[in-house]
Amino acid sequence: MGSKNKLKRFNENKTFHNVVEPTRDEVLSNALGYKGKWKEKFFKNENPIVLELGCGKGEYTVGLAKKYTNKNFIGIDIKGARFWRGAKTAIEDGMNNVGFIRTQIELVDHIFDKNEVDEIWITFPDPQIKYKRTKHRMTNHDFLQRYKKILKSDGLMHLKTDSEFMHGYTLGLLHGEGHEVVYANHNVYHQEGSPEVVTTIQTFYEKQYLEKNKPITYIQFKIT
């Protein structure tokens, strides 16, 4: 994507009512005033909140929001030029249950309050395979503890990935730390019993993976 195109998207994001782009200081100081009040101030309803972390173009966020109109969905990514597409689509389609936040994932427990979130989706994250990159894996111990702070006690986590490494790493960590694995599947499109929500929504890159016969894995779990 050219720099002019990126700049155009960044500027357009500023005009979108469904996009929030706080500075790091605004997040840490809660200057926006949304923490603990996303339902009341942003969505203006009392519906459950579902996050997609590292949402990319926002395809899954928007897809879920279309499927579950009785829930509120927020996509989070540091790259605003990417989720511009999802934000624009939501506005064009008149969707009031979709929002996007441009920020770093590690700040998520400063953006949302305790028990404020019902579910979290992580879709096709960078597996950070090298050992020295372990701290950046979005399902490592530290990240799970951040998610636990904002999730309801029975809140669900979802990991959908094309990385067998990420799938195995996460399963091992969950079992090792005693978290509850509700459902796990090494190949959701070739094994019976896969949840419909996992197979009916596909991202642009996911479709490319499937064309190459790359297995798509999924884990649903609770952080105990």
State both tokens at 194.
Answer: 């896969």
Catalytic choice (109, 126, 142, 154): 126
Tokens 């503890």 found at: 145
Cβ proximity of 181 and 219 under 8 Å? yes
State both tokens at 16.
Answer: 């979108």
State both tokens at 6.
Answer: 């990126």
C-alpha 210/C-alpha 224 separation (Å) is 33
Burial class (CB in 10 A: 0-12, 13-18, 19+), 112: buried
Of 90, 10, 103, which Cα lies nearest the Cα of 53?
A: 103
Strand order in the sheet with 49-53: 19-20, 98-102, 72-77, 49-53, 117-123, 151-161, 217-222, 180-185
Is 126 assigned a catalytic role? yes
Cβ proximity of 24 and 104 under 8 Å? yes
C-alpha 17/C-alpha 195 separation (Å) is 32
What is the phi/psi pair of residue 115, to 5°?
65, 20
Of 86, 131, 72, 80, which Cα lies nearest the Cα of 101?
A: 80
Catalytic residue set: 126
